[in-house]
């Protein structure tokens, strides 16, 4: 079962940790997994994306155009940026909280947040949209946004893993002192997946 997952966000949102958690979940099931990251200007809030290809022994770790099965987007503009990678049937989870790029804050560009979300809703009407930042803060730290999104994706059945498989992978990937907070973030994401946003 070849499955291609794109995770997209900006620097500091935990994109790479989310990728590592899903790779760990795949390996625990005995599946072959390849990962690849595009980091760019991550330390300055730039785009960060990660590709996971599960059971992908004969293919590139980079997901080619129109081959993505799942998108986990931590920011609306980054969701739209990944559209060329996605199949028309892709399963999508999109955090609706905006992060305004530096060039826009300096008046050198435009951020079209409502248009980005409208585009995603038009192309992927079954996508799950949620405001993850508030849930991450409720869990105890905005940096748990990535785990909130993983929980929402599991709750909505948009990942090729069970909730328990991802929960166990989180436990193996985060530091013990942060585990309870991340478990809470994961559960808040699962609960949010059943609500309309």
- The residue among 82, 86, 76 whose CA lies nearest residue 117 is 76
Does any domain span residue 136? no
Does any domain span residue 78? yes
CB half-sphere exposure, 178, CA atoms < 13 A: 13
CA 25-31-34 angle, to 5 degrees, is 85
Q: Report the number of distinct structural domains present in the chain.
A: 1
pTM of the model: 0.95
Does any domain span residue 40? yes
Does any domain span residue 192? no
Does any domain span residue 189? no
Write down the pLDDT at residue 46.
83
Write down the pLDDT at residue 197.
47
> What is the C-alpha to C-alpha distance for residues 90 and 166, in angstroms, rounded to an integer?
20
Contact 110, 102 (CB under 8 A): no
CATH of the domain at 88: 3.40.920.10
Write down the pLDDT at residue 45.
67
- The residue among 112, 117, 51 whose CA lies nearest residue 86 is 51
Domain range for 68 is 3-98+109-126+156-175
Write down the pLDDT at residue 1.
61
Does any domain span residue 139? no
Does any domain span residue 183? no
> What is the C-alpha to C-alpha distance for residues 187 and 84, in angstroms, rounded to an integer?
31
Give mean pLDDT in consecutive 10-residue pieces for the chain, a chain of 197 residues: 91 94 97 87 74 89 95 98 98 96 85 96 98 98 98 97 98 98 98 78
């Amino acid at each position: 079962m070849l499955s291609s997952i794109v995770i997209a966000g900006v620097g500091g949102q935990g994109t790479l940790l989310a990728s590592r958690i899903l790779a760990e979940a795949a390996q625990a099931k005995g599946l072959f997994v390849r990962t690849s990251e595009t980091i760019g200007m991550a330390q300055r809030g730039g785009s960060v994306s990660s590709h996971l290809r599960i059971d992908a022994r004969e293919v590139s770790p980079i997901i080619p155009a129109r081959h993505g099965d799942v998108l986990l987007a931590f920011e609306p503009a980054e969701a739209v940026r990944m559209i060329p990678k996605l199949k028309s049937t892709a399963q999508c989870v999109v955090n609706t909280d905006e992060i305004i790029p530096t060039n826009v804050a300096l008046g050198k560009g435009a951020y079209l947040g409502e248009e980005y979300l409208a585009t995603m809703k038009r192309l992927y009407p079954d996508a799950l949209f949620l405001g993850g930042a508030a849930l991450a803060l409720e869990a105890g730290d905005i940096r748990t946004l990535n785990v909130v999104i993983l929980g929402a994706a599991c709750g909505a059945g948009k990942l090729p893993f069970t909730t328990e498989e991802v929960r166990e992978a989180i436990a193996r990937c985060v530091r013990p002192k942060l585990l309870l907070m991340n478990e809470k973030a994961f559960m808040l994401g699962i609960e949010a997946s059943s609500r309309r946003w």
